Structure formats: structure tokens, C-alpha cells
Chains A and B, each alone.
Chain A
Amino acid sequence: MDLNYTDDQQAFRAEVREWLAETLPREMSEKVRLGKRLTKQDSESWHTMLNTRGWLAPNWPREYGGAEWDAVQRQIFEDECCRAHAPRVVPFGLSMLAPVLMAFGSEEQRQRFLPRILNGKDWWCQGYSEPGAGSDLAAVKTRAEREGDHYVVNGQKTWTTLGQHANWIFCLVRTDPDVKKQEGISFLLIDMTTPGITVRPIVLVDGGAEVNEVFFDNVRVPAENLVGEENKGWTYAKYLLTHERTNIAGVGFSNAALETVKEVASKVQAGGAPLIQNPHFAARLAQVEIDLMAMATTNLRVVSAAAKGQAPGAESSMLKVKGTVIRQELTSLLRRAVGPDALPFQADYLEGGDNAEMMGPEHAATSAPSYFNNRKLSIFGGSNEVQRTIITKAIMGL
């Protein structure tokens, strides 16, 4: 038992911290710190800065241009990025599709797509959920029928995050409707500029539109865009979801959010004293901090086992549930800390206009939308209820 990082790990942390201090533009980190929405250009320029340094793809092997860090290094990198309020790297191409292509794609697909993920030429989105397939993902209905050397795709995907920016989408499509639902699914790569695709934004409870509906109307996709074998897509989808669960605990996000709540609650006055001295508020804040201290260690236990080659099982689901509950509690505390100044909806400010004026103190405009937006945490990536079922079944073997 040793809770200390090794000298190498500490040196790595220092290197990352120094690079972030030198490279991350202040206007970008301020947007992230204040919870404003990032533009496509923001994401792309951060992507380029990381790629230039060789740190864009922490989980990729070196032969493909990745950093090939172990799980502890990736955790350190995440922690430092969150601490510096760096933008979140859009994960769909880098940490979801790429591992699938490396494991199951053809050499041609790897050569064609992986470099374009790194250099930012392609922006990928995820075509998984459908109106009738949420937690029950294997119920996808979007149909792909083989016609000569093409698949013809018809159907609808939904909750497609940042699909409005994407030029490619990886999709789970039904290629055989007559077998057990898991056995008739294929994994297809689709160029979003193909005729017959319509993207429609979904405005959410926070007033933003980060997710979309994507409609497919007789979309012709070259058969060479099939990943792996036809009707084996469910296997690849499950493989992808294990990668989706890396950094699932969100410790870095929660640490940054905790600091923000403390800062706001120390500044705002409630009954003649800083809010942080209100015993009810202080108790809720202390409790979530204590939970976070333990969860950070639970996360490191899993991460450190993963770095030694042990694949996490039910632990990922545990971290997903606990991590999201903590993050949601922190967004709730921030909203309450801001008080009546959380009332106005200030769209111009949220969208990040440099000159946009805001009513109220820092975080006033973003606290309520952020609270609303983060309700998603316990819904996506397998809802927390699905995770609880996984945990108990895995451990009980029932």
C-alpha cells in the first residue's frame, strides 16, 4: 500500500502542468471555467494544440501516433487538464471509434481514418441511440440493406452529440431483422455529406442544442465502410462501450467543480455572512467533498489495477454511478450558491460572445443551465439504473 505517486509520475504531472500553463489560451480556459459553451473552432484549435504536442490520443499505441500512456498517466493528464480548465476533447473519433478500428477494422480503414482523426480533418459523431433504443441499445431499427457494392440505409438516430459539427458518423444498423436482436446488427461508417441525411438539432432543457436527430432516407453507403463482419456489430459496440467508460468517474471535473462551489459560496453573502458559513450549506458541501475524497481513491484503485493489466468489470459501473451522483450534487450546490442571480436566462453570455454582458456575479448565468445539462450524466453511457443492474448481476452471478 502506497498512496504516493512515483517520481516519474510526479515528473510527468509537472510536465503536463507546465505545458498547459504555456499553451492553453486564457480566453479558452476562462470559457471552460465559467461554464460557457465552446464553439466548433474552440474544440478544433484545442485539438490541434494537443496533436502538435503528441498528447491528443493518450490511449492510442505509438504506431498510430498515440501517446500510449498507462491508466495512471491518463488519470494524471485528465486531472491536470481539468485543473487548468482545458476544454474536454471530443471523444467520439479518438476514444470510441479509433479503438474499434484498431481492433476490428481493415488495414485500409485504419490507414484511411486514423490519421484524419488525429489531424482533425474528420469530426466523428456516434450513431447509436434511436427513439426506440435507449438503454436497450440492441433494439436499434435503422435498416441497412445490401444492394450490390452499397448498403442502403433508412431510419433515424437520436441524441447525437455534436452531430451538427460532424462530417462522419459511426452507426449501429440492422442488417438482419430475422434473428435474435443482438445478432443482426452491423457497424457502419457513414459520410454525413451523403445525400439523404438530415441533421436536426434538439434544443434541451438548458436552452442549448448539443444533441441532434439524424435522419437517413435511402442513404447509399459503400460496402467497404462496413467495420469487421456483417452482423457482428454488437460485439464491436460492446467493445466501444468499455472504452467509453474510461475516465468515467470524472474526478477531475468534480475537483474543479468543488473549487468553484467553494469560491462562489465564500463570496456570496447570506444573512450577513458568507454562504459557506451557513451550516446547512456547509454540511451538504462537506458531505460531497468527503464522498469525492473516497471516490477519488476508489478511482485510483481501479486505475492502478488497470495500469497493471487488470480489466475493470463491475467497478466501472460503480464509478459511473458514484461519479455522476457527485458531479450532479456539485452542480446542484453551485446553482443554489448563486441564489436569485441564477434566475435570468442569458443566452448571449452562454454562447460565449466575448463582449456579452452578464447580470450578476461570475457563474450566475451558467449555474442553472449547467445544473439542467448535467442531468444527462446519470442517463447517458448506460443509465445509472442499468449500471446498478450490471453491478449486482456481475457480483451475484444471478
Chain B
Amino acid sequence: MDFNLTDERRMLQDSLGRFLQDKYSHEHRRGVIASGLPYDAEVYAGLAELGVLGALFTEEQGGFGGKGFDISVVFEELGRAGVIEPVLPAVLAGALLGDYADLIDGIIGGETIAALATSEAEARYDLNHVSTSAKNGVLNGTKVHVLNGAQATHLVVSARESGEVADESGIALFVVTPDAEGVTLVDHVNNDGTSGATLILENVTPMARLNSSYEDLERAVAHAILAVSAEALGAMEAAKALTLDYLKERKQFGIPIGKFQALQHRMADVLIEVEQARSAVINLAGHLEADRTTRERHVSATKNLVGRVGALVVEEAVQMHGGIGMTDEYALSHFARRITMIDHWFGDVDHHLARFIALSGAA
């Protein structure tokens, strides 16, 4: 048992942390979002150059990581800085595009962005709810909440070849290029500054049909849940640090507000729960390669706990800051938005509690 990072991961963490401190101040990030750009292309190229994307892929894939703790180290740092650049799509693609070495090379190099398009309007958080059809070689249907869909060079789309709308069997994954005939992408901004898109497919001929199953899709989403959980943890650490500083600096009634026991005890609960969230992320990272039931129990346990703790941290940090915590100018509100929106990706607190119960029954 060892809870220390390997030297390689420690170095990656340090260099990524330094890079973001240098290039990704809160003011810079706000500037990018205010400019209407989906992300800062120069920063994204810098992340690729630093090896951040390579760390998400295994050596066989041409990367130098790809394990649970590689993902968690990278995303905790991204979360700490509030990075909106499209790194998450690489995690999803990495788990699905194994056979396409040239695509993976492009992703690691930062030139290719492969966005995952699995969600549908009626599906809520159910991956198996797929009404988009794949028949006679063409795709028809509408996908929603495609992260970085409008910036993507490739789209990985789930579509149904057979069966009923919620069957786990009969679902296949296809690669579609945005310039293919019949593809419409409608771009929008999310609450946290990231970019989403609606993808409309009308008799689209895909570039390829992936040799991946529903189980592979579930495994890819497990990787993504680890990534966003670690990202939320990093954002919570940042919100926590801001709040600790504020409790020391802000004076009311002539003394720092951190001297008030009512606030000390609220802060203590925040500190305890952030450690719980860290442990939950470690648990999932450490079981990402485990058998399906073990892995998925940890997926749901971690996503549920991170969602609960995230809400606590956001609400308490804003409350302890008072009005300043609600302003767009101050960084806290940005972390608050990102942490909260992460609950809306890949299943929220309630979804994963119910799923954990179902998986426990099956165990």
C-alpha cells in the first residue's frame, strides 16, 4: 500500500501545475470566455506539448500513461485552474479509439479532437437509451450535450443497429466527421464556460464503424467519470483555499471572521468532506482496471460522493464568502459553476446512488 505518487506522476503534476499557474490565471480564463472563444488554442497546444494528453494514453497507444492515477493527477490539476480546454474528450476517445492509431496520434499531438456524442434528449443519464438509428449504412437522429462537439475534428456517435430504445445490445459506435453530408452542429455555451453542441444526423454516412461494444462505452464513461471527479476535487481544493484565505483576511465586528466558531465548524466539515472526496477519487482510480462489477460500484460510489461533497463545498464556500462569492469577477463563482455542472455529467448524485444500490444487489 502506498499513497504517494510515482516520481513520473509527481513530475507531471508539478510541470502541469507550473504551466497553468503561468499561463492560465483566473483573469486570462475569464478573458477567453468573455471573448466568445470555446477555449484558448495556444494553451491547448501547450498542454499537448507538455505531454498532458499523452499521459492519458497507454504506451501501446503511443502515450506514456493511461492508468487511473494518470487521469486523476492530470484532471485534479486542470480542475484547480478551471481549465476549459478540450482534454476530457481525449479520455473518452482514448478508451474507444484503440484501433485508430492515426486518430490517437493526432489527439496526443493536440491536432485532433474526438468528441463523444452519446446523449439524447430523452435519455437523461442512461447510456443505453439510444434512438439514433444506424440502418443501411447511414445514421439518423439527434445527439445532445456533445462536449466540444462544434470544435471536434471527429465525432464518436452511438447509434442503434437493432433492438428496442433502451436495450444494451444492438448499440454500435461510429466515427463521423463534421464535414460529412447531413451533419448539423448547433453550438452553445454551458454554465461553466465549457462548450456543448447538439448534433443532428440526417442520412449521414459514417467514416467508420468502431469495433467497440456497449461494455467498451461503459468503460470509457468510467474513465470520464474518474476524470471529472478528479477535476471536481481540484476545483474543490481551489475553492477551499480561497475560503481559508478569506476567513483569515475578511474582518467583521473588528476581527477576522475565521475567529467565529460558527464558521470554523462549517469550515471543518468542508475540510473533512474534501478529504472524503480525495479518498473516493483514489478508490476509483485504483479500481479502474478491476472487473466490471467492482469498477462500476466504485464509479457510482465516487460520482455520488463527489457530487454530494461538491454541493457542500460550493454552498458553504459561497456562504462563508458572502456577496463577493457570488460575483463573476471573483474566481470562486467559476469553481462553483464547474463543480456544480460536473454533477450534471454522466449521472448525478441521485442517478449514481440508485445505480450503486442496483450494482450492490447484483454483487
Q: Does B253 contact A (CB under 8 A)?
A: no
Q: How far is the CB of B321 from chain A (nearest CB, A)?
A: 15
Contact status A294-B1, CB under 8 Å: no
Q: Does B16 contact A (CB under 8 A)?
A: no
Q: Which of B69, B277, B280 contacts A293 (CB 8 A)?
A: B280
Q: Does B130 contact A (CB under 8 A)?
A: no
Distance A9 CA – B2 CA, assembled complex (angstroms): 13
Contact status A391-B268, CB under 8 Å: yes
Interface centre among B247, B269, B272 (most CB of A within 10 A): B272
Q: How far is the CB of A71 from chain B (nearest CB, A)?
A: 11
Interface residues of B in 1-34 (CB under 8 A from A): 1-6, 9
Q: How far is the CB of A94 from chain B (nearest CB, A)?
A: 26
Q: How far is the CB of B5 from chain A (nearest CB, A)?
A: 6
Contact status A391-B305, CB under 8 Å: no
Question: With A1-B69, A395-B271, A396-B267 as given contacts, are A294 and B279 in contact (CB-CB < 8 Å)?
Answer: yes
Interface string of B264-295 (1 = CB under 8 A from A): 11011101100111111011011100000000
Q: Which residues of B contact A293 (CB under 8 A)?
A: 280, 283, 298, 301
Q: Does B312 contact A (CB under 8 A)?
A: no
Q: Which residues of B contact A179 (CB under 8 A)?
A: none
Contact status B1-A2, CB under 8 Å: yes
A contact residues, total (Cβ < 8 Å): 41
Distance A391 CA – B301 CA, assembled complex (angstroms): 26
Distance A387 CA – B261 CA, assembled complex (angstroms): 12
Q: Does B244 contact A (CB under 8 A)?
A: yes
Surface stretch bound by A, among B150-158, B205-213, B338-346, B353-361 = B353-361
Contact status A321-B268, CB under 8 Å: yes
B contact residues, total (Cβ < 8 Å): 42
Distance A393 CA – B261 CA, assembled complex (angstroms): 10
Contact status A286-B1, CB under 8 Å: no
Contact status A389-B272, CB under 8 Å: no
Contact status A322-B272, CB under 8 Å: yes
Surface stretch bound by B, among A39-47, A297-305, A351-359 = A297-305
Q: Which of B271, B356, B360 contacts A392 (CB 8 A)?
A: B271
Q: Which residues of A contact B124 (CB under 8 A)?
A: none
Contact status B271-A291, CB under 8 Å: no
Q: Which residues of B contact A243 (CB under 8 A)?
A: none
Contact status B6-A388, CB under 8 Å: no
Q: Which residues of A contact B275 (CB under 8 A)?
A: 298, 315, 318
Q: Does A282 contact B (CB under 8 A)?
A: yes
Distance A290 CA – B355 CA, assembled complex (angstroms): 12
Question: With A6-B1, A300-B3, A304-B3 as given contacts, are A287 and B353 in contact (CB-CB < 8 Å)?
Answer: yes
Interface centre among B268, B275, B286 (most CB of A within 10 A): B268
Question: With A286-B360, A293-B283 as given contacts, are A1 and B6 in contact (CB-CB < 8 Å)?
Answer: yes
Question: With A392-B271, A396-B244, A396-B267 as given contacts, are A283 and B357 in contact (CB-CB < 8 Å)?
Answer: yes
Question: With A322-B276, A393-B264, A396-B248 as given contacts, are A290 and B304 in contact (CB-CB < 8 Å)?
Answer: yes
Q: Which residues of B contact A290 (CB under 8 A)?
A: 280, 301, 304-305, 353, 356
Distance A286 CA – B5 CA, assembled complex (angstroms): 30
Distance A67 CA – B288 CA, assembled complex (angstroms): 36
Q: Which residues of A contact B9 (CB under 8 A)?
A: 1
Interface residues of A in 347-398 (CB under 8 A from B): 385, 387-389, 391-393, 395-398
Write the chain B residue with the least CB distance to A287. Answer: B353
Interface string of A287-327 (1 = CB under 8 A from B): 10111011111101100110000000011001001100000
Contact status A391-B271, CB under 8 Å: yes
Contact status A395-B356, CB under 8 Å: no
Q: Does A5 contact B (CB under 8 A)?
A: yes
Write the chain B residue with the least CB distance to A305. Answer: B3
Question: With A283-B357, A322-B272, A391-B271 as given contacts, are A294 and B280 in contact (CB-CB < 8 Å)?
Answer: yes
Contact status A398-B258, CB under 8 Å: yes
Q: How far is the CB of A303 from chain B (nearest CB, A)?
A: 9
Q: How far is the CB of A296 from chain B (nearest CB, A)?
A: 8
Distance A392 CA – B247 CA, assembled complex (angstroms): 10
Q: Which residues of B contact A397 (CB under 8 A)?
A: 248
Q: Which residues of B contact A9 (CB under 8 A)?
A: 1
Question: With A294-B305, A301-B3, A396-B244 as given contacts, are A389 and B276 in contact (CB-CB < 8 Å)?
Answer: no
Q: Does B137 contact A (CB under 8 A)?
A: no
Distance A322 CA – B261 CA, assembled complex (angstroms): 19
Q: Which residues of A contact B354 (CB under 8 A)?
A: 283
Question: With A294-B279, A396-B248 as given contacts, are A283 and B2 in contact (CB-CB < 8 Å)?
Answer: no
Write the chain A residue with the least CB distance to B304. Answer: A290
Cβ-closest 10 pairs across A and B: A388-B268, A297-B279, A3-B286, A392-B264, A391-B268, A294-B279, A388-B265, A290-B301, A298-B279, A294-B280
Known: A295-B276, A297-B279. 18 other contacts (CB 8 A): A1-B9, A3-B286, A3-B287, A6-B1, A286-B356, A290-B301, A290-B305, A294-B277, A296-B279, A297-B283, A301-B279, A388-B264, A388-B265, A389-B265, A392-B264, A392-B267, A393-B264, A396-B247
10 sample A-B contacts, Cβ–Cβ < 8 Å, listed by A number: A3-B282, A4-B1, A283-B354, A286-B357, A289-B360, A290-B353, A293-B298, A297-B282, A389-B261, A389-B265
Contact residues of A with B, CB < 8 Å? 1-6, 9, 72, 282-283, 286-287, 289-291, 293-298, 300-301, 304-305, 314-315, 318, 321-322, 385, 387-389, 391-393, 395-398
